Chain A
């Protein structure tokens, strides 16, 4: 089955700095890679996703890159703000109705 590794497990940055979280996946058939943000006691919420036919996607301060050859994808957050503090999960899926395999999570702390 699919295996998703995520690094780092914790990340502290100063407000205004950038944060990068990296994930690798094992199944070359995976074609959809969402990123979820989960605040303490809250539900996971999709913040950005990327499909296998796209190499990069950006939404304001958040961007995701995908390298299918290396089976590697990354989340980039620029100009971090205290409200970005949360646990971030990467995930991989082979499509609708299929299992979504989550990475182990990165706890991001943005220091004011």
Chain B
């Protein structure tokens, strides 16, 4: 399996809802990433997990809470989001070597009402 999968594909939520985004890979990658991408903009790094431990948090608001339950899974828990959080959320993974070829999932299109 050479793909990163993400669920759901689309998500609409209210500002008081709690929801989770899921990401899975079976390539044996030990680094996993969450990105946020707004329309016509580059992906913007949110979090990096290395060997299931959070290694980088790019000063993301606490209403986004990442979780890496095992080496294949990455979750992003969402709570009390704002309309400006509406975006495409991309998950990526990479191997444990010197360089950083990242494989992206198809993304979750999130709309916050």
Assess whether A96 is in contact with B42, with CB atoms less than 8 Å apart: no
Assess whether A96 is in contact with B45, with CB atoms less than 8 Å apart: no
Q: CB < 8 Å: which of B56, B99, B106 contacts A99?
A: B56
**Nearest Cβ distance between residue B93 and chain A, in whole angstroms?**
11
Assess whether B90 is in contact with A99, with CB atoms less than 8 Å apart: no
In the bound complex, residues from chain B placing their C-beta under 8 Å from that of A95 are: 98-100
Assess whether B42 is in contact with A43, with CB atoms less than 8 Å apart: no
Is A20 part of the binding interface, using a Cβ–Cβ cutoff of 8 Å?
no
Q: CB < 8 Å: which of B31, B42, B95, B102 contacts A104?
A: B42
Dominant SS at the B interface? loop
Which single residue of chain A is at the shortest CB-CB distance from B91?
A: A43
What is the total number of residues of chain B having a CB less than 8 Å from a CB of chain A? Answer: 28
Q: Mark A87-107, 1 if CB is under 8 A from B, else 0.
A: 001000101111111111100
| Chain B residues near A (Cβ < 8 Å) | 31, 33, 40-45, 48, 50, 55-56, 58, 90, 94-107
| Chain A residues near B (Cβ < 8 Å) | 31-32, 34, 36, 42-46, 49, 51, 89, 93, 95-105
**Given contacts A32-B99, A36-B104, A43-B105, could you give 15 more A-B pairs where the C-beta distance is less than 8 Å?**
A43-B107, A46-B102, A49-B99, A89-B42, A89-B43, A97-B31, A97-B94, A98-B48, A99-B45, A100-B45, A102-B43, A102-B44, A103-B42, A104-B41, A104-B42
